[in-house]
Structure 1
Amino acid sequence: MASPDDPASDTDPNNDLLAQLQAAAVMSGPTSQAELLAQLNAEPEPDPLADVEYTGDLATDSAAELDAVQQGFRDRTKREDERFRLATDSEYWFVLCFKSREDKEAFLKAAGLMAVGDKYLDGYAVARVLDIPMPSTDTRKE
């Protein structure tokens, strides 16, 4: 990856996305290729100026742009509030405890879960390994 002092770092529009993906991978552990592909193909943030109808009058057009940008911030705030709620919801995880590290590792190996992790495991990856069907995010009840 290019250093911040490298002029090429400013010219590649993928540098920010790459940095975000690398940070996410470090914080959340291994990410599957399918999950990385989904992140890369995610819809970009909507352009708040896309629906502005320009009249040719500078004052009117400036006011319309300001209104659109303000609405864009309000919409983004709503999305961010929902993301924050999901990120800080503590009712989406549980813990298993054993008397020793050896017992924990024996359990994970016997269940075929060591490849998923040895401390913090992605529940969906565990469900795939254990062949447990999970509701998709489209069908899950809120």
Structure 2
Amino acid sequence: MAQLAGSAAPMGGSNDDLLAQLNAEPEPDPLADVEYTGDVPEDSRRELTALQQGFRDRAKREAERFRLATDSEYWLAICFKSREDKEKFLRNAKLLHVGDKYMDGYAVARLLGVPMDDE
């Protein structure tokens, strides 16, 4: 765990991101709500129906995950004439401790007092 946590930030994710992945809820059991009758053919149909619905639900979640993972319009770039100007900006904005190139937008928003709905 310590090795994973230590490697999270250099790969672009924060320790909070890594912990969220490690603590994520497991996929729901598609058979959890099947009501069994004791009739094997009927119970098999109910299980198959539940499994099919589980696959459909998982496909929807995966489609949303894929959309979020491949959406490239969630970042921005700010450019200065020199490295010194960039670092001066980050120091004066008190953002240097967040990063000098890639920063968590929500952390920046908090520091700048910008309200965000989806933190």
Question: TM-score band, normalised by the shorter chain?
Answer: 0.7 to 0.9
38-47 or 90-99, which moves further after superposition? 38-47
5 Å-filtered alignment, 1:34-49, equals 42-49=24-31
Find the aligned partners of 2:48 and 2:57 in 1 and give their Cα distance. Answer: 14
Find the aligned partners of 1:90 and 1:102 in 2 and give their Cα distance. Answer: 28
CA spacing shift, 1:23–1:59, aligned 2, 3 Å: farther
Say what the alpha-carbon RMSD is for the aligned residues: 2.9
Q: Which residue of 2 aligns with 1:15?
A: none
Q: Which residue of 1 aligns with 2:40?
A: 58
Find the aligned partners of 2:6 and 2:61 in 1 and give their Cα distance. Answer: 23
Q: TM-score, normalised by structure 2?
A: 0.77
* Corresponding residue to 2:11 among 14, 27, 35: 27
Q: Which residue of 2 aligns with 1:92?
A: 74
Once the two structures are TM-superposed, the CA of residue 44 in structure 1 deviates from its matched residue by: 3.5
* Corresponding residue to 2:86 among 101, 104, 109: 104
* Structure with the larger RCO, 1 or 2 (CA within 8 Å, 6+ apart): 2
Q: What is the percentage of aligned positions where both structures have the same residue?
A: 69
Find the aligned partners of 1:110 and 1:29 in 2 and give their Cα distance. Answer: 25
CA spacing shift, 1:118–1:51, aligned 2, 3 Å: same
Find the aligned partners of 1:135 and 1:105 in 2 and give their Cα distance. Answer: 29
Find the aligned partners of 1:133 and 1:75 in 2 and give their Cα distance. Answer: 33
- How many residues align? The count is 118
